[in-house]
Amino acid sequence: MKPDLILYNARIYTVDPAQPWAEAVVCAGGNILTVGSNEDALALAGPNTQTVDAGGRLVLPGLTDAHVHFLQYAIRRRQVNLSGVKNFDAALQLVRQAVEQTEPGQWVQGWGWDEYPWDTQPTAALLDQIAPHTPVALARVDMHTWWVNSAAMKQAGISRETPDPPESRIERDANGDPNGLLREWSAIRLVERHIPRPTFDALYGWLKETMAEAHQLGLTGIHDQRVENEGRQNFRLFQAMRRRGELKLRVHMNISSDFLAEAATLGLQPGFGDDRLWIGHTKAFADGTMGSQTALMLEPFEGSSDNRGLVVTPADEMWELAVQADKAGFPLSVHAIGDRAAREVINVMSEFEPGDATGRLPHRVEHVQLLHPADLPRLSQCGIFASMQPVHIQMDWRAADKVWGKRARYTYAFRSLLDTGTQLAFGSDAPVAPFNPLLGIHAAVTRQDEQGQPEGGWYPEEKMSVAEVVQAYTLGPAQLSGKAHRQGSITPGKWADMIVLSGNLFEIEPSEIAETEVDMTIFNGQVVFGK
């Protein structure tokens, strides 16, 4: 078989310990044929072989985002973007402009707000001043709190008589009236179900645009994480894209624990699918988030005597879910932010054999944002993967110090987890955080935001090396999805997914990583993005 593509004159970091570095890679039929020297690779070229001179640039395996809400990100890109807006008046002005451009009776939606830098706390009354009649719904940066106005609450039938839904909270003012903040999914759904959904065709087009953006960012694979307001739609969209030959990502599709019984009835199990789209873990939530102060804590949040967060799935229900999942052949993927949530989830997962001992996929804890020091070695001991998003450090380090105090020492404890033997898989959590994996690599290596703060890095003892971080974006996700024999390194026999970078991450200053760009993305042996 003559090669389809030869990439040569490159600094190829393969993530394969048998051959860590190479000059050239030869691709045929969507797979990697050989990896080696320029001379040997070019000697295999045929008359129709595409040859690409990398110009001495760094080449890595295609990156995989191990935790992304892909459909949500596609939708959010078309809403009012309040991400990174540090001034409350500026945020309100963006919403005002959207209200003025919206037809009567239509909703204004937005996302990404973060109240910690503001000197004003968001309330419905403040939105009412600029939108007395237009319903407005704005998702917080973590998506676990919505800020809505009175018009939105009126449509949803929320009043002072409305009780807090299960595992959620409707915030109230001193008089007991709802103040416009809805904490967690059951409360959010009271409003969300009244917002018109985009058409299937619109969502399909947005997903295609988002896939193109993924290629520009060096992503060739994702682990798609459902959230409460997605349901079946994203899986249907990916299947439609696959049928039409337009899916150019490796998609590990986690399914909601709400649908576990249906999957078990049909006999579906992880891995079912093909080389582009397959079923992954079953997803559940143990708690809320740090920013919304709904993360489940062993001790109260700083400045509070009794707020230990919210339980989204009680420990006994988590155990029942784990038993049902085990019978159905599914491993768990559980969102756990607070130290108590992480402990309870690990307690449940520890009762089951590690994935590699049974031939099944390993359990995974999503975020692992805060751990009690006593729980650090337990993930490795139980064969549990830590699915983490280092880019959160850029946004969260100040807030974590504020709400967790000295406990923040073990927030995103990458080095401590690695030293105990825990396997890591990194992602973005987009749209909660930026989609760009280079920002995540920068954050894990420097423990700083894009402004270089804090000086020296936030708890710098938890920094990682470039090689360790690259593995967490490549081979780590592949191992977690049971695809390490086909994905995650530039090795003969694996899928031909690679990227070419503008700078060599192993040689440039760590502070420059965030400015590095993807010059080319190769998926299945074909160039899908190139400058």
User: When comparing pLDDT for 231 and 186, which is higher?
Assistant: 186
Mean pLDDT of the chain: 95
List, in sequence order, every residue forming a beta bridge with 277; answer none if it has no partner: 251
pLDDT of residue 452: 96
Q: What is the pTM of this model?
A: 0.91
Computed over its alpha carbons, how large is the radius of gyration of the chain?
23
5-62+494-530 shares its CATH topology with 72-192:
no
pLDDT at 133 over 80: yes
pLDDT of residue 356: 65
Token digits for 2? Answer: 């003559």
pLDDT of residue 407: 98
Closest CA to 59 of 44, 79, 41: 41
15-32: average pLDDT: 98
Which numeric CATH code is attached to 5-62+494-530?
2.30.40.10
Domain locations in the chain as residue ranges: 5-62+494-530, 72-192
pLDDT of residue 231: 58
Closest CA to 413 of 453, 380, 450, 452: 380
CB 389 within 8 A of CB 429: yes
Encode pLDDT of 329-376 as tens digits: 999 999 999 999 999 999 999 998 777 666 789 999 999 999 999 999
Q: What is the rounded distance in angstroms from the CA atom of residue 133 to the CA atom of residue 410? A: 45
Q: What is the rounded distance in angstroms from the CA atom of residue 454 to the CA atom of residue 422? A: 27
User: Which amino acid does the sequence have at 106?
Assistant: Q
Encode pLDDT of 456-486 as tens digits: 999 999 999 999 999 999 999 999 999 999 9
pLDDT at 513 over 70: yes
pLDDT at 230 over 60: no
Which numeric CATH code is attached to 72-192?
3.10.310.70
Encode pLDDT of 29-80 as tens digits: 999 999 999 999 999 999 999 999 999 999 999 999 999 999 999 998 889 9
pLDDT at 229 over 70: no
Report DSSP letters for 349-395, one per residue.
HTTS--HHHHTSPPPEEEE--B--GGGTTHHHHTT-EEEE-TTHHHH
| Percent with pLDDT over 90 in the chain | 91
pLDDT at 271 over 70: yes
What's the 3-state SS for 238-261? Answer: HHHHHHCCCCCCEEEEEEEHHHHH
Encode pLDDT of 317-333 as tens digits: 999 999 999 999 999 99
Closest CA to 495 of 475, 470, 525: 525
Encode pLDDT of 443-457 as tens digits: 999 999 999 999 999
Encode pLDDT of 405-457 as tens digits: 999 999 999 999 999 999 999 999 999 999 999 999 999 999 999 999 999 99
At residue 232 the predicted structure's pLDDT band, cuts being 50, 70 and 90, is confident
Write down how long the chain is. 531
Token digits for 457? Answer: 């890095």
Encode pLDDT of 385-406 as tens digits: 999 999 999 989 999 999 999 9
| Percent with pLDDT over 70 in the chain | 98
Torsion, Cα 431 435 441 447, to 10 degrees, reads -30
pLDDT at 228 over 60: no
pLDDT of residue 105: 83
pLDDT of residue 142: 87
User: Which amino acid does the sequence have at 154?
Assistant: K
pLDDT of residue 84: 86
Q: What is the rounded distance in angstroms from the CA atom of residue 372 to the CA atom of residue 339? A: 6
Encode pLDDT of 485-497 as tens digits: 999 999 999 999 9
At residue 292 the predicted structure's pLDDT band, cuts being 50, 70 and 90, is confident
Lowest mean pLDDT segment, chosen from 24-28, 103-107, 265-269, 371-375: 103-107
Q: What is the rounded distance in angstroms from the CA atom of residue 471 to the CA atom of residue 415? A: 14
List, in sequence order, every residue forming a beta bridge with 279; answer none if it has no partner: 253
